[in-house]
Amino acid sequence: MAIEIAFGRFDDAFSISSFKAYLAEFISTLLFVFAGVGSAVAYDKLTSDAALDPAGLVGVALCHAFALFVTVSIAANISGGHVNPAVTFGLALGGQITILRGIFYWIAQLAGAIVGCLLLKFVTGGLSIPIHSVAASMSSLEGVVMEIIITFALVYTVYATAADPKKGNVGIVAPIAIGFIVGANILAAGPFSGGSMNPARSFGPAVVSGDFKDNWVYWVGPLIGGGLAGLVYGGLYINHDEHIPLSQDY
């Protein structure tokens, strides 16, 4: 099991094509967070119940699934459509993107999430932006473990459908599969850890709301889960002797 993790070259990281990729990640993450957080804001607007009921949970999960399907699709041919620092981290550990390029992806994703939440707050007349938090019945450690498991599932799906060079025609349905696993994970984990799987999705609302309670959970859990998926899939199923990280790789 050999994994080639590459730091990358500065000339590649600052090339025109790289800046186009960073912009694509910024736009896609902005649109995803705007729609995803917006579904939670809309629910709060339409009901006086602070806790999601089953129908509300399904609505929020579907919105995230549809939004991710679209935002991954529109960025796939430019940046790979990560839309998530945990996905970028997992792909870097699996040798599918350079560390240097991954750092700029993170910056673009976090900036997109923040701007998306700022725009959402503006267009809704200043309504509060809900944050991810661990359920009162759970400990922070249990929340971290939940986020590890569901993010592992997400990044493993990304590898199997989009990042594996042997994927063949499966790559055509990759955005659909990625959206579906996110929607399913939110249905399963939403009432417990919040079902984030995405540090940017949690960080943007935390910045705009000024409430960072439990925010560390949505960094530690997703990064561990995404990293493990990258090490497992990248190490076991991808032949790195034939596949070296390139600037345009997923």
Per-residue pLDDT tens listing for the chain (250 residues): 556 778 888 888 889 999 999 999 999 999 999 999 999 999 887 786 556 678 889 999 999 999 999 999 999 999 999 999 999 999 999 999 999 999 999 999 999 999 999 999 999 999 999 999 999 999 999 999 999 999 999 999 999 999 888 776 666 789 999 999 999 999 999 999 999 999 999 999 999 999 999 999 999 999 999 999 999 999 898 876 544 443 344 4
Q: What angle do CA 55, 197, 249 make, to 5 degrees?
A: 125
Distance CA 114, CA 221 (A): 20
Q: What is the pTM of this model?
A: 0.92
Contact by Cβ (8 Å): 68, 32: yes
In the prediction, which pLDDT does 3 show? 65
Q: Is 77 helix (H, G, I), strand (E, B) or coil?
A: coil
What tokens were used for 118? 């700022």
Cβ–Cβ < 8 Å for 83, 25: yes
Q: So what's the pLDDT on residue 48?
A: 65
Between vectors from CA 119 to CA 133 and to CA 123, what angle results, nearest 5°? 105
Distance (Å, rounded) from C-alpha 242 to C-alpha 160? 17
Q: How many Å separate Cα 46 from the centre of its chain?
A: 27
Specify the pLDDT at position 44: 83
| Of 31, 208, 214, residue with least CA distance to 127 | 208
DSSP letters of 152-213? HHHHHHHIIIII-TT-GGGGGGHHHHHHHHHHHHHHHHTTTT-----HHHHHHHHHHHT--T
Q: Where are the beta strands (DSSP E) in the chain?
A: none
Distances (CA, A) of 48 to 44, 51, 60, 62, 121: 7, 9, 16, 21, 19
Helix (H, G, I), strand (E, B) or coil at 230: helix
Q: Please, how many CA atoms are within 13 Å of residue 220, restricted to the half-sphere of its CB?
A: 12
Residue 156 to residue 177: CA distance in whole angstroms: 11
Q: For residue 129, what pLDDT is reported?
A: 95
pLDDT of residue 182: 98
| Amino acid identity for residue 64 in this structure | H
